[in-house]
Amino acid sequence: MADPLYELLLPHLNDEIRGSTTTGEAPSPRDPTTRAYLERLSTLSLKSLATTEDTSITHASQSNTRSLQALSKRSHASITTASDHLKDLPELLTSINGEASSITEGIKTLESGTNDFAQKYERSTENQVLDRRRAAALLNRSFERIGNILELPSLLSSTVNASAALGAGGTSGSASTVATSGAALTGYASALDLHAHVKRLRALYPNSALVASVVQQSDEEISNMITVLVTTLQSPTLKLAVAMRTIGWLRHLTSTSDSHSRSISHGGEEGALGDMFLACRLITLRRLLEALQPLKQLADQESKNREANAVGDQQAKGIGAQSERYLKRYIEIFREQSFAIISMYKSIFPTALPVPDTTGREVPGSAEDGITPSKQSSTGSEHAPALAALVPELAGMLSQNLRDYMPNVVDRSARDSLLSQVLFCAGSLGRLGADFGMMLALLGDIGTDSSTASIGTQEWAEAMKKHRVQASRLEVLSSGVASGKKASVAPESQPQSPVVAAR
């Protein structure tokens, strides 16, 4: 319907266009506005077309005119500015085109210079300027990591020092000191982890002078740690738990060191760690015995008085008291420390225990008293276990003091008490396979003066009998059968009780 109506109105539209002052063409029938208006006309009646359509068209035209006037009033400034810019747009496009051409030429020049620079420096392997630039760039990128590496020696030093400070009082055995010692050994574990990290850095960068310097400083701190651990083994109040952990750290250090890895004991061999442990404990024993120097000086004074004056029985009642005090204290410390040394050694180094001598070779001794000298026993064989050499050393120390100060003790009961104390000491070590009582029996007569009641074979035999009688009685009491039975075994044939040995 719209197309025939459009064809009907088209001549009138052309006349209107020719009669108006504007130039243009008739609207297309496909225009949405034209199509909508033609569809509206088809819905109107003839009366409406004749009476109200002109008024409606006039009203719409006036409304559009007012809208255009309002738009021009509101936007004339922006429209004018846009028009001016539109006039300048061709010049701007021409200028941009020229600048783009200049940039293109500059990029070509830059590319050529870049290629020349790359060809000049990439093929040169000995350019010092480029090497310095590369080193500076690498240092800038790795600044934080290098700082962390340089802090490793100081961190290791602080860890070792803190552990040493904590472990200084952590060997007495109380709850607080045991906890302190545990914290110290935990610090040693951290120090070992740091040292292992430094060794990994050395394996990764073997040619780095910086890493080599850090490794050297770390090795110095580890040497300090070894010194601290060895000092811990020389503590007078060392306990088994602390000793085992300390030896464990030393074993870990020596096992990771190429220069000491062959010193670790394997199988029945003792190894350097066992030798070091016994040496440290022997040093501690000597220091504790040296603390008895005031009593020893009094005993020496009695020895001088005995040698200078031949006193009679009536004058000899007060002689030997200081020597007796010194020997009692000496034997007590000797028994406690020697038992602790051997028991801890057997617990820490169970695979490094000495084996019996099956060669039938006699132990070299002194022609005077038959006691094995300490130097000869410790160096008799290159492969002799250190523990086998320690027992003659301990026996030599004790026998030397008995030989020097026992003649000063003239009271028979005091002498018997000292001999019993010595036998208890030997029996205590006998529980650990280190009984040296028979070696002390080889002392023979001590003293040259007949008035001093020296230890003879008969006196030593009587002391042994009394000791065995006491040992058998205490064994029966400790076994719990003394209340209903009497011992029927001869006292001389009774073996020594472990309880007695422990006392």
Q: E strand or H helix at 176, and its extent? A: helix 175-204
Q: What is the pLDDT of residue 262?
A: 47
Q: What is the pLDDT of residue 371?
A: 38
Q: What is the pLDDT of residue 405?
A: 84
Show the 3-state SS of 183-244. Answer: HHHHHHHHHHHHHHHHHHHHHHCCCCHHHHHHHHHHHHHHHHHHHHHHHHHCCCCCCHHHHH
Its pTM stands at 0.58
Which of 348, 78, 166, 361 is closest to 240 using CA atoms? 348
The Cα 210–Cα 149 span in angstroms is 9
Q: What is the pLDDT of residue 284?
A: 92
Q: What is the pLDDT of residue 142?
A: 85
The Cα 276–Cα 123 span in angstroms is 60
DSSP state of 264: S
Q: What is the pLDDT of residue 73?
A: 86
**What residue type is 343 in one-letter code?**
S
Domain boundaries, the chain: 2-107, 142-263, 273-455
Measure Cα distances from 303 to 276, 322, 404, 448, 485 in Å. Answer: 36, 10, 8, 13, 49
CA dihedral 6, 7, 8, 14 (to 10 degrees): 90
Q: Quick check: 61 and 35 in contact, CB under 8 A?
A: no
Spell out the per-residue pLDDT of the chain, length 503, in tens.
Answer: 557 888 887 887 777 666 665 556 777 778 888 888 888 888 888 888 888 888 888 898 899 999 989 888 888 888 888 888 888 899 999 999 999 999 999 999 999 998 888 777 666 566 777 778 888 888 888 888 888 999 999 999 998 888 888 766 555 545 455 556 666 667 888 888 999 999 999 999 899 898 999 999 999 998 888 898 898 888 888 888 888 888 888 888 877 665 444 444 444 344 688 888 889 999 999 999 999 899 888 888 888 887 776 544 434 455 678 888 888 898 899 889 988 888 898 888 886 555 555 444 444 433 334 334 334 443 334 434 777 888 888 888 888 888 888 888 877 788 878 877 887 787 777 777 766 766 666 655 554 444 444 455 566 666 666 666 666 666 666 666 445 444 444 444 444 433 333 33
Encode burial over 314-347: b for 16+ CB neighbours within 10 A, e otherwise.
Answer: eebeebbbbbbebbeebbebbbebbbbbbbbbee
The number of helices, as runs of H, and strands, as runs of E, in the chain is 19, 0
